[in-house]
Amino acid sequence: MARPVAAGVLTILGGLFILAGGVVFALFGAIFALFGFFSAVFLLGLLIGFVTIIVGVLMIAVPFLHTVWGILAIVFALVSLPLALGGFLIGFLLALIGGILAISWKRPTDRFPTIEGRTVPPSGN
């Protein structure tokens, strides 16, 4: 069975960069917490990174939902910009490209014309 492997791998790599950006953002949150300002917003970058990696794995594991996974990858890439520094912009771009590839991926059965797609020439009557 064919799978959108390139889309999944790019999304997983983007998720790893987003996760690294989330770690940096969480460290900023820890520094602010030392001065009395605590917020859970700084931990959301870690969550976005983990979820993006999971979406990349699901692209490969469950390929018939490739459109859903692609849309989720694009949404999480956009959300990572303010919450995880966009994965140092590289994670954002990789997850975005992975999502676009997942949406545009065609199953092998969709690539071949079927009998219904052919036209019958008119009869000579």
Contact between 26 and 104 under an 8 Å Cβ cutoff? The reply is: no
* pTM reported for the whole predicted model: 0.84
pLDDT at 74 over 60: yes
Q: What pLDDT does 23 receive? A: 95
Q: Which of 19, 37, 15 is CA-nearest to residue 28?
A: 37
CA distance 30 to 98: 32
Q: How far is residue 89's CA from residue 112's CA, in Å, rounded to a whole number?
A: 38
CA geometry: angle at 38 spanning 13 and 42, to 5°?
10
- pLDDT for the residue numbered 119: 59
Q: What residue ranges in the chain does DSSP mark as E strands?
A: none
For the chain, which residues make up each domain, given as ranges? 7-105
